[in-house]
Amino acid sequence: MKIGIPRSLYYYYFKDLWQYFFEYLNIEVIVSPETNKQIMDLGVKYSNDEMCLSMKNYIGHIAYLKDKCTHILIPRIDNYGLSNQTCTNFLSTYDIINNIFDINILNYNINLKNNETELKGFLNIGRKLGINKKYIKDAYIYARVKSSKIKKEKVLKNLKNLRSDKRKILLVGHPYNIYDKLIGEPIINMLKSLNIEIIYCDLFYTKNEYDRYSKGLYWKYNKENISSISKCIDRIDGIIFLSSFPCGPDSLVNELVIRKLDKPYINIIVDDVESSGGIETRIESFVDIVNEL
């Protein structure tokens, strides 16, 4: 048995949890490589024009994995409560992939409105794999503890960087965009080359301080992204919003927040990963502005 994990979308939220879970069960895991042109081209080939760049990227990683493993892990994540809805991509990905590819999908649901918790989801994985319930529960607890420790270390480093003497810019976006090799990494490398200390929006402890900018936010992950601004607005010199075209939640939420900011900001929407010249010029100009303050 080999479980394939696409290095896109969910991966950047749950990679450590998944890796340690299957490690405990002694099940081999195959993670697709970092995004490259071949993978992105596969995603474009199998997707339609209405899908956001991040979804096309995810489909490309699925296409890469489909002949290299016995199962591909694709959760169906609907919500974390009534006012914590995820993007429709997180809800519909299972059905989209199931209709595009003939593959064995290993899935679980998270829908707290229906009392479908993460633990129940992992227990469901165990049933599908024919593994003892207690053993699955032990694997989940082991993975949760290990992954939480890793996250804590990253958060502490992020908070430490807030005390840096360098110019500090908060990078606000979804982890699957920020940390992707083609979408976010070029921007990260550019900022580092300009001697900027990057503060990452996903590396804070609590994630419920978005009321300062909007009291009616609906999407869980946008709430978390925007909460990071409240946590460090007085200690940063600027903000970069990063999203993939045409992300609906980002286009609405970022616009609401931008209108209330009193810090320099730039809104970068990535559509074509092969044409980065314009983005480079904008970032260089933005850093020049920040350095002049």
Q: How many CB atoms lie within 10 A of CB 285?
A: 11
When the candidates are 3.40.1350, 3.40.720, 3.40.50, 3.10.110, the CATH number that belongs to 2-148 is 3.40.50
Cα dihedral 120, 105, 150, 80, rounded to 10, equals -50
DSSP sequence for 222-278: HHHHHHHHHHHGGG-SEEEEEEETT-HHHHHHHHHHHTT--S-EEEEEES-TT--HH
**Which tens digits make up the pLDDT trace of 123-159?**
999 999 999 999 999 999 999 999 999 999 999 999 9
Q: How far apart are CA 227 and CA 25, in angstroms?
A: 36
pLDDT at 275: 66
pLDDT(273) > 80: no
What would the two tokens of residue 246 be?
A: 């045409």
Q: Is the pLDDT of residue 203 over 90?
A: yes
Burial, 219: exposed, middle or buried (Cβ in 10 Å; 0-12, 13-18, 19+)?
buried
Measuring CA to CA, which residue among 86, 79, 88, 63 is closest to residue 6? 63
pLDDT digits over 176-202, tens only?
999 999 999 999 999 999 999 999 999
The pLDDT value recorded for residue 96 is 94
Whole-number Å distance between alpha carbons of 143 and 20: 5
- Which CATH architecture describes the domain 162-292? 3-Layer(aba) Sandwich (3.40)
pTM above threshold 0.85: yes
Q: Where do the domains of the chain lie?
A: 2-148, 162-292
Going edge to edge, which strands form the sheet with 71-73?
A: 28-31, 2-5, 71-73, 105-106
Q: One fold for both 2-148 and 162-292?
A: yes
The H or E element spanning position 285 is: helix 277-292
> pLDDT tens for residues 77-127?
999 998 889 988 888 899 999 999 999 999 999 999 999 999 999 999 999
pLDDT band at residue 276, thresholds of 50, 70 and 90? low
pLDDT mean over 201-223: 83
Distance from C-alpha of 205 to C-alpha of 176, rounded to nearest angstrom: 19
CB atoms within 10 A of CB 37: 11
Residue 207: pLDDT band by 50, 70, 90 thresholds?
A: low
pLDDT of residue 201: 96
